[in-house]
Amino acid sequence: MNVIPLPKKYTENEGVYRIDGKIRSDFDLPLIADYTEKSDGASFEIIKDEDVANEGYKLTVTPERLTVKASSKSGAYYALQTVRRLCNFDLGGREVPCCEIEDEPRFKWRGLHLDESRHFFGETEVKRLLDFMFTEKLNIFHWHLTDDQGWRIEIEKYPLLTEIGSKREYTQVGGWGSGDIEYIPHGGYYTQEQIKNIIAYAAERGITVVPEIDFPAHCAAAIAAYPGLACFEKKTEVPGYFGGLIPEKQGNLRWNRTLCCGKESTFDFVFGVLDEICDLFPSEYVHIGGDEAPHGEWKRCEKCQSVMRKNALKNEKALQGWFESRLISFLKEKGKTAIGWNDIIECPGLDDDGKSLVIQYWTPKRDKHAERYAEGGGAMILSNHQSFYFDMTYAMMPLDATYNYNPRAFGIDADGDNVLGVEGELWSEWIPGREKLDLNAFPRMQALAEVAWSQENKRDFSDFKRRLDLLKPTLEKLGIGYAVDRVSLNKNIILSSKVQSEFRKGNPLFETELNKEYKAEGEK
């Protein structure tokens, strides 16, 4: 069996079926029109069967006939992706080994995240990524469209968000801890029409697009466009630095600034933005961020302090909980469910009944708040840093760290109905374009797909590596610049105790020391 992700049940039989380019289908499947011709008498048939699990399929291949049974269009497409791999279709293969397969996903949330605030990729690159998600049976595209370093989506009510907030004059380069700045303007954003096109493109591939619009922190680009959103109004530019390096011209204002909670005009802005987001995106979910919110300006802001006194909020964390609860309630009224990073549930007073908020558990350390939330039935997505942060180097996060992900190490029972699934994160601080994107995403995307789709007791890293080696010629044919196995290059870099210690503590500055060690080994 050379399929990734590994099917739930399969039996290999003798013989092959040869695809002749004719097919009969109970489903309208326009994506296969270039490869097949519809024919009522075809021996390759796709049958609608309501007894098959949603997104699942049954595949029977004999020398005379290939039959797919599915209850949904997505299930039919996933079966065809399995056929595609079985016969090496992209390499010109047309002989499908005889077999019987019953397959369905382990998790309903099989996600990949792309950060376009730090670097903007554009419609062509996003659609290319969606195509590869489709082949790996991933079904959630988490689209990070706003952050400090750029606002990437047109909001008609607030045109300055893209006129000003989508552009920066410089970009930090060289990795975490580097002080190097590249003074080249960077910008870009999506019109609402482009957003609709990408949503439709994803939907045809069974992929739901979930937008992330961060509040109340990571709002420096929005504040550069509308300075009145901040506690202290001061003209600032869109920052191009990522890790706390603050140029002198920004004064003492942080790169990661929070919106002012003491002005009702702040909520007019936030709700105005979310109104347009809810209208644009059919997804039942909207991600509101909520992580890494500094409270320093709130402590000095009389308006914020007044809200705290009026609502009997004992500290600024409770003020953030009050802020987030208003957003969660607003989205609920719009028929949407809010998602927030697990930092958010540290805020007292948050509406955390498990029905109006989904937590995305990302932190490197175990989070007792997240564990209690899950134990109480709170909905959760798993994307823990050590396994699913695909922006990291392979030396720090080798492929088996993704493949062997164990949620129990973070205090989570992933078999509960409240765990929606898993997601890989492509943060783009140090990913400026396709070459680096491919390097960081592949073959981690294949490992993620198997964690998300396949049964845990069937996973075996050695067998996965065998199947991955068989897939590599296809990746090359498709123009994917995947990361090569460092063992195959006869590299065996041992991380120093200092780097290991910093990583265990969750300190991002481990990258600085790691880069030094790579250079010592002659690596780029």
Give catalytic residue positions: 147, 218, 292
CB 377 within 8 A of CB 409: no
CA distance 257 to 244: 12
Can you tell me which residue has the tokens 């509101």?
A: 288
CA distance 236 to 245: 15
CB 222 within 8 A of CB 151: yes
Type and span of the H or E element at 69: strand 66-70
Amino acid identity, position 295: H
Phi first, then psi, for residue 480 (nearest 5°) are -95, 120
CB 126 within 8 A of CB 465: no
Closest by CA position to 319, among listed 301, 339, 342: 301
| 165 three-state secondary structure | coil
Handedness of CA 310, 312, 316, 322 (dihedral sign): negative
CA distance 298 to 160: 25
**Max Cα–Cα distance, the chain, nearest Å:** 78
CA distance 290 to 347: 10
CA distance 212 to 219: 12
CB 428 within 8 A of CB 115: yes
Residue 512 backbone zone (phi > 0: left; psi -120 to 50: alpha; other: beta): alpha
CA distance 447 to 518: 25
3-state DSSP helix/strand/coil percent for the chain, to nearest 5?
Answer: 35, 20, 45
CA dihedral 456, 460, 465, 467 (to 10 degrees): -70
CA distance 283 to 198: 13
Can you tell me which residue has the tokens 């990302």?
A: 362
Phi first, then psi, for residue 195 (nearest 5°) are -60, -45
Structure tokens at 419: 């765990």
Structure tokens at 146: 């706003």
